[in-house]
Amino acid sequence: MTTIPPEQIIETMQQHPLLDESTEYGYGTAGFRFKVEHMDGIMLRVGIASAILQYELFQNTKTNTNTNQQPQQDMGVMITASHNDESYNGVKLSNPDGSMIPPHLEETLVAIVNQRDLDLFQNTHLKGFDFRSTAKFHVGYDTRSHSERLTSLFIKGAQAMGVTVINHGVLTTPMLHHIVLHSNAKAYLPASIPPCPSRAGYCQAMGSAYLELCNVVAPCAITGDRSTPLLVDCACGVGYKAVQEVLSEITIRGNLTTCKPFLVPCNEPGEGPLNTNCGSEHVQKQLKPPTWYSKTGQDAAKSYCCSVDGDADRIVFFAASSSNELGSLLDGDKIAVLIGKFFQAELSKAYGGNPKLPKVSMGVVQTAYANGASTQYLEKNLKVPVVITKTGVKHLHHAALEFDIGIYFEANGHGTVVFSQAYHEFASQAKSICPALEILPRLINPAVGDAVSDLLLVDALLQHFEWTVQDWATKLYTDLPSRQLKVQVKDRSVVQCNDNETKCLQPTTLQPALDQLMSDIPGSRTFCRASGTENVVRVYAEAPTREQADKMATIAAGLVHTHCGGVGPKSAILFFKK
């Protein structure tokens, strides 16, 4: 039920038109994400659409008799452009279970946002709209200078349609998804996880689960000063405060006030430009350490470091050998393998102690960007099934739900673990033998990739294995050298790929050229795909040597430029910085 007359809503839409009259604004890899000047009109329309999404969800769940879902459930919206620089902004929506919204809601949203005929809009969506949900929309935003203004446009649209909005202010994307999931606890959380639908609740849950896990698998982590604290590059974004808050929770709860902090958050908002020469995207794509804008970061040792992205839903770990050189990079693949190895050991301990425990399945989900060596290690050494999906956590998450323990990570450090109900029952039975199995779902954010949760988990596991970053880099498998580049083209939609994005289907001339390139270098692999978050085509190459990988990526990028309408001279391709 609209709270103001439909004509007034249309008037507001006219005051905030879509910037580009002819563009179809798509819901990309992770929401609507564009240069900020495009976002005002989009945000207002997403706000208006939020009521219609609630209605659609209500229609779906009310007829679903199979589950204990309630017909009216809270949803969420996060205003952020995540890993992109400050010139972008965007919006990602959360489903009631904290995951990304499903394809049918994306379609509804895209149709509403792109409806240019406002008479038709009024007749189709506003006139006679008499649904008022008891459920709420949780809203959060990142530290970008324009995020608060865009949030108020969302709220304006949502409230005009009668939606109850709870504005949580500046927070990380995973915190927002956690809040949404915990607000719908009855339908989606197992009884072993107490609901805590707030920012403070998130920090308490993370802090206490980390301490509990360390207590049982790595007591050394919390019993004194660490020789090497973990230096956290927060990309000058929202992760800084989140890491500080969780650290303070752990310090107080664990009586660690007399110890040196084991986490050193650096690169806080304002110390440097967001995601620029810092953050996980920079470290993973450029294969370079970040700029340490904070004085504390400049002075500290660089042998145990991590970088998160601008909304703290991704993380990579590294050791730097100099201010300009990475010693080792531990990306999402390495994180997935570390977690898989730990689960496997705990499972075999549990079954060793009680062979009658019910069986649970475990699998890992990756994308075409996964380093070939990691996939091989998972399948051959750990003997874990691997599924490859399209890029985008929404695809990985969905595939991971097929397993009782579904570990999913993109190479860029975006990932988490999801657990089935059968797993929760198993873990409670196995608790006396392996308490960690019951604690892990409280430390791991099952809603979405979460840099803070992943940071704590990885730290506890490294302490458990008594591994340095160097050990982690060398004791599992050795990455095949790889290189990623991006190419600016006139229209990135000309690039169409197969289902798992390993082959380019359009333009038809490109794949044969890439195939030729691969046959010239045995053991190599290259592919390209249109980004869903930036106006570029991404190119990936992997080969037996660093020189071959770099050369291959450069040639493949040149081919993309030629076959896909590259913009400007070929020399303008964004080559990696030597």
CA distance 169 to 147: 10
Least distance from ligand G16 to the Cβ atom of residue 485, Å: 12
Per CB under 6 A, the list member of 272, 279, 290, 392 interacting with ligand G16 is: 392
The footprint of ligand G16 on residues 235-264 (CB under 6 A) is none
| 412 is an interface residue for ligand G16 by CB under 6 A | yes
Answer yes or no: are the C-beta atoms of 202 and 195 closer than 8 Å.
no
**Amino acid at residue number 113:** V
Which of 99, 159, 328, 391 lies at the binding interface for ligand G16 (CB under 6 A)?
A: 391
Task: Give CA 409 to chain center in angstroms.
Answer: 9
Q: Which is nearer to ligand G16, 302 or 538 (CB)?
A: 538
| By the rule CB under 6 A, 534 interacts with ligand G16 | yes
Query: For the window 193-232, what string marks contact with ligand G16 as x by the rule CB under 6 A?
Result: ----------------------------------------
| Binding positions for ligand G16, 25-44, rule CB under 6 A | 29-30
Closest approach, Cβ 70 to ligand G16, in A, equals 28
Q: What letter would DSSP give residue 479?
A: P
383 DSSP β-pair partners:
none
> HEC string of 505-559?
EECCCHHHHHHHHHHHCCCCEEEEEECCCCCCEEEEEECCCHHHHHHHHHHHHHH
Q: Does 83 bind ligand G16 (CB under 6 A)?
A: yes
Bridge partners of residue 362, in order along the sequence: 405
Amino acid identity, position 18: L
Residue 173 burial (CB count, 10 A): 31
Cβ at position 458, least distance to ligand G16 in Å: 18
Q: Which of residues 46 and 218 has its CB atom nearest to ligand G16 in the complex?
A: 46
| Site residue total, ligand G16 (CB under 6 A) | 18
Q: Taking CB under 6 A as the criterion, which residues in 318-377 touch ligand G16? A: none
Of residues 540, 510, 504, the one with CA closest to residue 525 = 540
Question: Please, what is the minimum distance in Å from the beta carbon of residue 219 to ligand G16?
Answer: 34
Q: Least distance from C-beta 100 to ligand G16, angstroms?
A: 8
By CB under 6 A, tell whether 538 contacts ligand G16: yes
Interaction of residue 172 with ligand G16, rule CB under 6 A: no
Among 331, 410, 438, 450, binds ligand G16 (CB under 6 A): 410
For ligand G16, the closer CB: 182 or 397: 397
* 504 to 533: interface string for ligand G16, x by CB under 6 A: ---------------------------xxx
Shortest Cβ 394–ligand G16 spacing (Å):
7
Q: Least CB distance from residue 301 to ligand G16, whole Å? A: 28
The residue range among 14-22, 36-44, 410-418, 460-468 that interacts with ligand G16, by the rule CB under 6 A, is 410-418
Kindly tell me which residue out of 73, 82, 277, 366 binds ligand G16, with binding defined by CB under 6 A.
82
Greatest Cα pair distance in the chain: 68
- Do strands 75-79 and 88-94 pair parallel, antiparallel, or not at all (unpaired)? antiparallel
Select 69 or 82, whichever has its Cβ closest to ligand G16: 82
Give the shortest CB-412-to-ligand G16 separation in angstroms.
5
Q: Which of 82, 280, 453, 482 is catalytic?
A: 82
Omega of the bond prior to 507 within 30 degrees of 0, cis?
Answer: yes
Instruction: For residues 390 and 497, give the distance between their C-alpha atoms in angstroms, rounded to a whole number.
Output: 10
Nearer of residues 448 and 521 to ligand G16, judged by Cβ: 448
CB of 308 to ligand G16, least distance (A): 10
- Opening angle at CA 537, ends 284 and 326, nearest 5: 15
Beta-sheet strands, E only, within 244-385: 263-266, 305-308, 315-322, 325-330, 362-367
Please identify, using beta-carbon distances, which residue of 75 and 160 lies nearer to ligand G16: 75
Q: Cα–Cα distances in Å, from 48 out to 142, 151, 159, 287, 392?
A: 21, 13, 8, 42, 26
198 catalytic? Reply is no
In 3D space, the residue among 50, 37, 203, 193 whose CA is nearest the CA of residue 113 turns out to be: 50
414 binds ligand G16 (CB under 6 A): yes
CA distance 172 to 82: 10
Beta carbons of 92 and 31 less than 8 angstroms apart: yes
Closer CB to ligand G16, 438 or 534, in the complex: 534
Annotate each residue in 277-316 with x if it binds ligand G16 (CB under 6 A) or - if it does not, as one string: --------------------------------x---xx--
- Torsion sign over Cα 98, 104, 106, 108: negative
d(CA 120, CA 98): 33
Which is nearer to ligand G16, 26 or 532 (by Cβ)?
A: 532
Nearer to ligand G16, 420 or 531 (CB): 531
Phi, psi of 279 (to 5 degrees): 90, 165
| Residues with catalytic roles | 82
Residues that bind ligand G16 (CB under 6 A): 29-30, 82-83, 309, 313-314, 391-393, 410, 412, 414, 531-534, 538
